[in-house]
Structure 1
Amino acid sequence: MTRTASMTVSLPKLTPELSDVASDDPSVEEKVLQERAFVDMPGVHGLYVHVPFCVHKCGYCDFYSLAEPSDLATDRQQVFVETMLKEIHRRAAQVRLEPTTVFVGGGTPSLLRPDLWQLLLDDLAELGVLDRIVEFTVEANPEIVTDDLLALLAARGVNRISLGAQSFSTELLQVLERSHDPVSVANAVTRIRRAGIELVNLDLIFGIPGQTLKMVGDDLDAALALEPDHLSYYSLIYEPNTAMTQHLRAGRIQRVDEQIERDMFAMIIDCLAEAGFEHYEISNWAKAGGPPGANDADESTRTKTVCLHNLQYWTNANWLGVGPSAASHINGYRWKNAPHIGQYLGSLSPPIADYEHLPPARYLGEVLMLRLRLLEGVPCDWLDANLPADDPRWQTIEHLVQIGMLKRTHSHVRLTRAGLFIADEVVGRLL
């Protein structure tokens, strides 16, 4: 399963006519997934599967996950997979489920038993969900990657592994409360390549308490030595109700100085550009390449290892999420399954924690917010077609261009390098 991608991605059309069926009733079956709301609408092209089990809850993580003893987690795994398959079947009967990308995240999906992976993949195949798949990503922790599992995944069409490396410093991994060591990352990449899985992404973090610019440089050197196809490099966020935030409030750790953190980001941008990676989203870099015989100087012929699944989020496409806490977005409707394994396993239909219908004005703002995360920005023709002439955001855009935070080309409005460093503030002015 070979996949290539260009950076040209169609933005979704706004669908104000859906306001006719908007409702505050959080019943997905009754309101969101009703036939009249989705007939003749585009299909769902992204499928996210949330596997909540993990060995250890990392100090910075606010994703819904269950750090349980392996025997307890294993006992729940069978029931969990069976329940999740019921959810997929139920949703497939309600929407046009035609995914081109699948992303299995968590938690630690690589904790699932191989026989349950087999059950999941067999059922998805029988349902026809995998017929159009171009990119199939599975998240994994470096210390929980076995040859048997990788062989199974490769044989069933998984062509991308996203590996949670975070850092190559033993000291910083301890600060993050990670359970692996730097050597296990290299070993995992070797196993993934040996299994024949085409693409490897490494997740990394900067701005870790105690981290220096030299440490960031060392992490970059170590990561590039493994020749990944893609890098996701995130600044550390102190999320509420995490151990890391509790440590910060108690004075046990200190934030990295804001200017030093910006210097770290600048180092990452420059180093990865020099190494041949394209910075295509604020926190994501793809290795550029080309098909045999292609002229590398011709941008139109070059292929890129962008994450196609995440592009669906950034372009506000339709995606379906299954599993506890998984979010979905279909035609301006957005909902999230309850983050509770007990409620999930004990229900005929997953309980919904959050549900909303985005009115056109807010939907437009979210498209701007998400699309500006991409380095290519927002197409000018899309802005002209969707932003009313009297909308005050036109003046805001011009002001941001004048002060050097945005750049307007003949085709796009995008963040400048200076704008990248304060992207949240820049985008916030356009909401």
Structure 2
Amino acid sequence: MTSTLTRLPRPYQSYVYAYPHKTAYRPLAPRPTLHEVWAGEPRDPLSLYLHIPFCEIRCGFCNLFTRVGAPGDLTTRYLDALTRQAETVRACLGTEHSPRFANAAFGGGTPTFLEAGELIRLCDIAERVMGADLDAIGFSVETSPATATTDRLAVLAGRGATRISLGVQSFDENESRAAVRPQRRADVETALARIRDTAVDVLNIDLIYGIDGQTPASWRYSLDAALAWQPEEIYLYPLYVRPLTGLSRRDRAAADLAWDEQRLRLYREGRDHLLTQGYEQQSMRMFRRIDAPAPGPDDYSCQTDGMIGLGCGARSYTRNLHYSFDYAVSAQEVRAIIDSYTATTDFDRAVVGRAIDADEARRRHLLQSILQADGLPVADYRARFGTEPHTDFPVELARLAERGWLADTGPARLRLSPEGLAYSDAIGPEFFSTAVRAAMAEYELR
């Protein structure tokens, strides 16, 4: 019997967390000054992101911009460079229209790789240099079991952190080893207890499905172990084996339909289990406890508002340009980029990026809306662009409807059906522009 997956696009193609993807970025020529980039851009509200590219280990599935360890005084030199960059960015934003940050996040890598005193300095960069009122807006921080120490968590809680996300991935030690993320469950539980002791509003736990050797029973084991802590949020991530990562050296056929079916089955089981346990689905990956506190100010829109990213792995968004620094995955290349960043004294120009024209803006707005469970209010799209989504994307939306991936919500809203959400990672790439597809295909992995 032929699998239904042979008649549909593969469900796991590309994790669409931002558009365009960084592999579509190119060196900018000429390099515009940040004064030019932000001239006339709205600055109320903005999002602030600080990137720390260090981890204690490199997980086998990870293709994030990060390196293992920080020899010598590297973290000090990195924070020195981050301060120089923040001072330059803040000066380029000017004083006539001071920015207002609606949210902030520390990501990586592992921000809590930094010691407690260094985390204080990181918070000072966000508050005293950039002007983000962390106590008023709260902020999110990613951590790991090994670095979620009492002193580090105390700094974050004391400075106003409202969300701490722990990358557990699996509570099964055999699965952790298979994912090249060796850890003891006892250490994970200790880290979770420390986070709960901080009384931070939101605990998030990340879990991964599709690990070698994972079964429905072991998947339920991890789900229930996570639920025992009553986290306000749970993210369920499909395992991807990406080039230049630890797991990519293993023998797995790229067209492994059985693996696709396994991940889809585990996803559905995890989704259905969480829905019966008092959680509501926010996206393919995110589940939020129904009685969880509000996540913070709700006047920021990722579809329309800008973002300032600080650090060599961060990206920034304006209406017309997305920009960052160079990007790589391999350990040698990442180290070289970090070394170049720490030696930089002049941060007043955008280096690498991609211009966002009207067509790309439409694609981004639609993608970042329909890949959320609430979907796209058509009136918002019409107000911004003066057109209708079905007029701009007739072929793509008709295809979703034919597959049964659009919910019956009437003309006022575009929303994916439950099965459409399950195929989010296949839907995203179908809305990529021809130019972005070509740039991604031409990108040289390194």
Match of 1:55 in 2: 56
Contact 2:86 2:130 in 1 (8 A): no
Q: Deviations over 1:168-203 (max 9, x none)?
A: 010010011114222222211111121232211111
Contact 1:50 1:324 in 2 (8 A): yes
Q: After superposition, where does 1:282-301 map in structure 2 within 5 Å?
A: 282-289=284-291
Whole-Å Cα distance in 2 between the matches of residues 375 and 331 of structure 1?
24
Q: After superposition, where does 1:215-294 map in structure 2 within 5 Å?
A: 215-248=218-251, 257-289=259-291
User: 1:317 pairs with 295, 305, 314, which one?
Assistant: 305
Match of 1:365 in 2: 363
1:334 matched to 2:334? The reply is: no
Q: Deviations over 1:218-251 (max 9, x none)?
A: 1111110011111111101111111111113599
1:203 matched to 2:206? The reply is: yes
| Paired AA for residue 103 in structure 1 | A
Percent identity reads: 24
1:119 matched to 2:117? The reply is: no
Contact 1:60 1:238 in 2 (8 A): yes
Match of 1:391 in 2: 391
Unaligned runs of 5+ in 2: 1-26, 328-336, 433-446
Shift of 1:110: 0.9
Contact 2:282 2:288 in 1 (8 A): yes
Q: Deviations over 1:50-94 (max 9, x none)?
A: 1111111111111111113x6x1x521111111101111111122
User: 1:194 pairs with 197, 209, 215, which one?
Assistant: 197
- 3-state secondary structure, aligned to 1:64: coil
Whole-Å Cα distance in 2 between the matches of residues 307 and 269 of structure 1?
27
Cα distance change, pair 250–235 in 1 and its aligned pair in 2 (3 A): closer
| Paired AA for residue 248 in structure 1 | D
Whole-Å Cα distance in 2 between the matches of residues 56 and 223 of structure 1?
22
| Paired AA for residue 154 in structure 2 | A
Match of 1:93 in 2: 91
Match of 1:66 in 2: 67
Contact 1:208 1:256 in 2 (8 A): no
Contact 2:280 2:287 in 1 (8 A): yes
* TM-score under structure 1 length normalisation: 0.82
| Paired AA for residue 318 in structure 2 | I
Match of 2:444 in 1: none
Whole-Å Cα distance in 1 between the matches of residues 30 and 137 of structure 2?
33
Contact 2:376 2:415 in 1 (8 A): yes
Shift of 1:125: 2.6
Unaligned runs of 5+ in 1: 1-22, 291-302
Cα distance change, pair 283–118 in 1 and its aligned pair in 2 (3 A): same
Shift of 1:119: 2.1
- 3-state secondary structure, aligned to 1:41: coil
Cα distance change, pair 225–381 in 1 and its aligned pair in 2 (3 A): same
| Paired AA for residue 369 in structure 1 | L
Relative to structure 2, which stretch is displaced further, 124-133 or 275-284?
A: 124-133
Higher relative contact order (CA 8 A, sep 6+): 2
Whole-Å Cα distance in 1 between the matches of residues 401 and 340 of structure 2?
49
Match of 2:342 in 1: 345
Shift of 1:397: 2.3
Whole-Å Cα distance in 1 between the matches of residues 60 and 236 of structure 2?
18
TM-align CA RMSD: 2.8
